[in-house]
Structure 1
Amino acid sequence: MKAISILGTSSNAGKSWLTTALGAWLYRQGVKVAPFKSQNMSNNSYVTLEGGEIGRAQAAQAFACGLQPQVEMNPVLLKPSGHGMSQLVLLGDAKEHIPAREYYRHIEALWQVVAEILEGWRSRCDVLLLEGAGSPVELNLMHRDIVNLRPVSYLQGRWLLVGDIERGGIFAQALGTYHLIPPTLQPAGLGLVVNKFRGDLGLFAEAGQYFQQHLPKLPYLGTLPYQGSLQPESEDSLCRDAEESATGTGEMLAWIRFPHLSNSQDSQPWRLDEGVQVKWVETPQALEKARLIVLPGSKNTLGDLAWLRETGLATAIIEAHQRGVPVVGICGGYQMLGDWLLDATGVAGDAGRVRGLGLLPVTTEFAPQKSVRQVLAQWQNQSWQAYEIHMGQTSRSPQAQDEAVYEPLLLANGMAEGLRGDRVLGTYLHGLFESGAMRGYVMELAGVESYQPSGESWQEVQRRLYDDMAQLMEDYLDLMPIRRYLQL
């Protein structure tokens, strides 16, 4: 097995993008390739067929490589929950919430888990793509870093370096990172990729000679132009690009940007359709023109519910619903729509007994056990894969009145799931809007006449995206050093 680590000069330099594109390109070459990231930090996660939890980026990379996601692709996942705490997910299994200092006390034990998984990959693929995290040369962290240099060194593999020209200072980024990499690992460099170039590439035509002059031992592979249509979902916990601005044109679909937002990718299928735009909002004023309001997932449901009230968004959501705007809650957002949320010990973030928004007659009680599963969702005549990741169990409130006006939203593995009432929908299913029929239904509820659904499925669009990413990489980069190393 050959191993290639994709390292970045910083967070959000393009490591996930390049790993995905490289996996798709190798898959097209007939290579048995798999993705891997020792440790990820993100609240955007995915559920494997076995019911394990991994980072969304590794799931996307698996699909790009023609594989089903597996927990061995991301053995350590940290999900920030606020107050300096993160939930540790080990080999897909959710563990306790721990502070950073406590986590680092276990780093060598975690490395032993990682090393064992790396050994297992030796017989399962021809090429393992190791995605790094942040920068590989944070001098205060290098001695306890199990995701950048240590895995590729352990496998005696090679590495690529990707830098973000959009941030400025690309030459300093590349030179500084390379020279801070330990001298024993510098010869393992396959090349440098400059990412996210906007504008006329001719203005950067002389970059190669400068890199050759100052980095003679690290080949310059080329510069990738930024193409907005070829950006898969972002999961970087430090990056807001995926939710920074409106996507699409037309009537506004308002998605609430919680402080502890999770699984923001649930909004992405709306990109397929015309006549609507997704906009992430944080103020009551932003809801004035909304035709649909979505409360997405949260890693701290009680904390984010308190934030809704502090900002005035809770009142604005209720008022919008009263004037006819449909409201959808997914996972944590579903829990917030209910009557009560009970978290005695803080297993889902903040502890307490809190009144919900009261738009659905349900009560959620949190417990240490986490529900993690893939399901077959069914709505009308359409079926698709969805998944659950949540703490807490939700049931009808004992005091609920007018039960007859509420009914299950859809079927999950043949069983009733979620709840819908008068222009309000709640569900635990991530991937709800991957169904074109479901998107069409909520647009009918909203009375959006300009809405034009796509004729393609989300899965078809994603496969084409991965292929187009691979083609962009092949068109703009010199891949010969990679070909030589892999003997392609």
Structure 2
Amino acid sequence: MTRAIMIQGAGSNVGKSMLVAGLARAFVRQGLRVAPFKPQNMSNNAAVTVDGGEIGRAQALQARAARRDPVVDMNPVLLKPESERGAQVIVQGRRTGTLKARDYAREKPRLMQAVLDSFRRLCDGCDLVLVEGAGSPAEINLRTGDIANMGFAEAANVPVVLVGDIDRGGVIAQLVGTHAVLPPADRDRIRAFAINKFRGDPTLFDEGLVAIADRTGWPSLGVLPWFDGAWRLPAEDIMDIRSHAGDGLKVAVPRLRRIANFDDLDPLNADPSVDVLIVQPGQPLPGDADLVLIPGSKATIADLADFRSQGWDIDLAAHVRRGGHVMGICGGYQMLGRVIADPDGIEGAPQTVDGLGLLDVSTVMTPEKHLSLDSATYLPTGDALRGYEIHVGRTEGPDTARPWLRIDGRPHGAQSADGRVRGGYLHGLFAADGFRARYLSELGHAGPSYRFEAGVEDALDALADHLERHIDLPRLLSLAAPPKV
């Protein structure tokens, strides 16, 4: 019989996604068939699934932790912000439109049915479904029509574990305050609590656990110390990509306002001999960078305008004159061309804008979104790699006659005559150890090889070990119950 348990947070960024990944790996090692589920996610960092849709990348990592292929039912509603007030709405892997926040609230009853349908399908063939909430259930102003936290837990009859983040301070107030503001029925769905991100000796918080339990009636599942291996796992948020200094090859990445699918940075960030510098707005692109990597964007034309407003176009031109290398991926590839045309107003008002002009290509935005999982070959060396495409737009021009990839038998990408500026739509290519080593060696990288995928697996196992040492997993599992599906 399938059982389910929901991990909710007393605030955003308490570590729910990582906890679900660690729990998935821990319980699958016990022989259970485990699946992750997040009713609603908001992220521009998406993954392409084996069934041809897209979900939040955090759920793809959780699926990997559970040793399952990611499918759209693991994250049936994905919101991808396109502006300060509007987001593209992905339902069961497919774009259904763009809505403003106020309009989205009216769509929640319809979306709840899609959420429950996906949850029902996911439960088939599973022993345990680990459900991740979004934000905090204490946001009671959002409770009406909620599909992300207690609204889903009520509809599917799933018990809840509440997690607090002690690293931010005020964790007792986080948990006790949540208890105080929740309506009784929601409060009663919480069966236990846990503390995450403790630095130092966890026994120093014993009195804090007692204070929380006395004021809420919820039992404690334990205090989880800070997990030092988290940096080896793919980041859910761009803020989790660390700029780190050292003596290795330097990769500069401009922080686009609407940066998307930045998992391309994870393997570089994890490589101890590569220095990744996230260049924040207001900062210049560094003059000593070996590579400037322009990542994907959810709104290419708007981010290109921001790129110019920061003066990064001038910095990038100087970088190229000095002999530096540039790579643009997806939206970054489109920016490197001569022209971006949006005749149908995909990204706003119909318009045509000049690109950065470093590649002799032009892009036309098209209504259809391209989603695919790809097998590719790096043409200069023959190294094989796998990745994915997730984009709107078609790019053509003379520099595409110099492809540097072959995807499923067809040439892909474009490069300048000297090969120092390259662009393409394939995400995930740096995860291939062979390609990454060959490409970086062309830039002068002479550091030791780093096995990224093996490092992710090692980190997931280490995270599961960490949870087994510090959290009462038998008790947590005993709290899981058959859902109402």
TM-score (norm 1): 0.92
Q: Distance in 2 between matches of 1:302 and 1:438?
A: 30
Query: Alpha carbons of 1:349 and 1:461: their partners in 2 closer, same or farther (altered >3 Å)?
Result: farther
Q: Quick check: 1:76–1:89 contact (8 Å CA) kept in 2? A: yes
Alpha-carbon distance, 1:325 to partner: 1.0
**1:465 counterpart = 2:459:** yes
Alpha-carbon distance, 1:150 to partner: 2.1
Query: Alpha carbons of 1:251 and 1:160: their partners in 2 closer, same or farther (altered >3 Å)?
Result: same
Q: Quick check: 2:221–2:476 contact (8 Å CA) kept in 1? A: no
SS in 2 for 1:124: coil
SS in 1 for 2:213: helix
Larger deviation, residues 199-208 vs 168-177: 199-208
Counterpart residue number, 2:7: 6
**1:434 counterpart = 2:437:** no
Larger deviation, residues 460-469 vs 65-74: 460-469
Alpha-carbon distance, 1:85 to partner: 1.6
In the TM superposition, what whole-angstrom CA distance separates every residue of 1:12-68 from its partner, at most 9, and x where no partner exists? 011101111111111111111111111111000000122201100111111111100
Q: Distance in 2 between matches of 1:274 and 1:15?
A: 27
Counterpart residue number, 1:360: 359
AA of the residue aligned to 2:229: S
SS in 1 for 2:196: strand
**1:376 counterpart = 2:378:** no
Q: Distance in 2 between matches of 1:468 and 1:346?
A: 47
Query: Alpha carbons of 1:147 and 1:164: their partners in 2 closer, same or farther (altered >3 Å)?
Result: same
Larger deviation, residues 302-311 vs 371-380: 371-380
Query: Alpha carbons of 1:79 and 1:173: their partners in 2 closer, same or farther (altered >3 Å)?
Result: same
Q: Quick check: 1:160–1:191 contact (8 Å CA) kept in 2? A: yes
Q: Distance in 2 between matches of 1:133 and 1:247?
A: 33
Query: Alpha carbons of 1:110 and 1:486: their partners in 2 closer, same or farther (altered >3 Å)?
Result: closer
Q: Quick check: 1:243–1:279 contact (8 Å CA) kept in 2? A: no
Q: Distance in 1 between matches of 2:318 and 2:434?
A: 27
Q: Distance in 1 between matches of 2:37 and 2:477?
A: 20
Alpha-carbon distance, 1:249 to partner: 5.5
Alignment of 1:290-305 (within 5 A): 290-305=289-304
Alpha-carbon distance, 1:194 to partner: 1.0
Q: Distance in 2 between matches of 1:352 and 1:148?
A: 40
AA of the residue aligned to 2:458: R
Query: Alpha carbons of 1:160 and 1:486: their partners in 2 closer, same or farther (altered >3 Å)?
Result: closer
Q: Quick check: 2:54–2:94 contact (8 Å CA) kept in 1? A: yes
Q: Quick check: 1:230–1:468 contact (8 Å CA) kept in 2? A: no
AA of the residue aligned to 1:169: G
In the TM superposition, what whole-angstrom CA distance separates every residue of 1:47-92 from its partner, at most 9, and x where no partner exists? 0122201100111111111100000111111110114121111111
AA of the residue aligned to 1:47: V
Q: Quick check: 2:20–2:130 contact (8 Å CA) kept in 1? A: yes
CA RMSD after TM alignment: 2.0
Q: Distance in 1 between matches of 2:84 and 2:181?
A: 32
Alignment of 1:46-445 (within 5 A): 46-215=47-216, 217-231=217-231, 232-236=233-237, 240-243=238-241, 245-246=243-244, 250-282=248-280, 283=282, 285-348=284-347, 351-379=350-378, 380-396=381-397, 400=398, 407-421=402-416, 422=418, 423-445=420-442
Q: Quick check: 2:198–2:226 contact (8 Å CA) kept in 1? A: yes
List runs of 5+ in structure 2 lacking aligned partners.
none
Q: Quick check: 2:143–2:151 contact (8 Å CA) kept in 1? A: no
In the TM superposition, what whole-angstrom CA distance separates every residue of 1:266-292 from its partner, at most 9, and x where no partner exists? 111124433221111034534222111
Alpha-carbon distance, 1:144 to partner: 2.3
- Between Structure 1 and Structure 2, how many residues are aligned? 474
Q: Distance in 2 between matches of 1:247 and 1:145?
A: 43
Q: Quick check: 1:314–1:357 contact (8 Å CA) kept in 2? A: yes
SS in 2 for 1:11: coil
AA of the residue aligned to 1:134: G
In the TM superposition, what whole-angstrom CA distance separates every residue of 1:358-380 from its partner, at most 9, and x where no partner exists? 11111110011110111112223
Alpha-carbon distance, 1:381 to partner: 4.0
AA of the residue aligned to 1:365: V
TM-score (norm 2): 0.93
Query: Alpha carbons of 1:331 and 1:349: their partners in 2 closer, same or farther (altered >3 Å)?
Result: farther
SS in 2 for 1:480: helix
Q: Quick check: 2:229–2:462 contact (8 Å CA) kept in 1? A: no
Query: Alpha carbons of 1:4 and 1:275: their partners in 2 closer, same or farther (altered >3 Å)?
Result: same
Q: Distance in 1 between matches of 2:421 and 2:133?
A: 41
Q: Distance in 2 between matches of 1:234 and 1:363?
A: 31
Q: Quick check: 1:300–1:350 contact (8 Å CA) kept in 2? A: no
AA of the residue aligned to 1:448: H
AA of the residue aligned to 2:90: V
SS in 1 for 2:284: helix
Query: Alpha carbons of 1:349 and 1:284: their partners in 2 closer, same or farther (altered >3 Å)?
Result: farther
In the TM superposition, what whole-angstrom CA distance separates every residue of 1:159-186 from its partner, at most 9, and x where no partner exists? 1111111111000001111233332243
Alpha-carbon distance, 1:355 to partner: 0.8
Alpha-carbon distance, 1:189 to partner: 2.5
AA of the residue aligned to 1:51: G
SS in 1 for 2:130: strand
AA of the residue aligned to 1:431: G
Q: Quick check: 1:273–1:452 contact (8 Å CA) kept in 2? A: no
AA of the residue aligned to 2:461: D
Q: Distance in 1 between matches of 2:234 and 2:53?
A: 20
Q: Quick check: 2:249–2:444 contact (8 Å CA) kept in 1? A: no
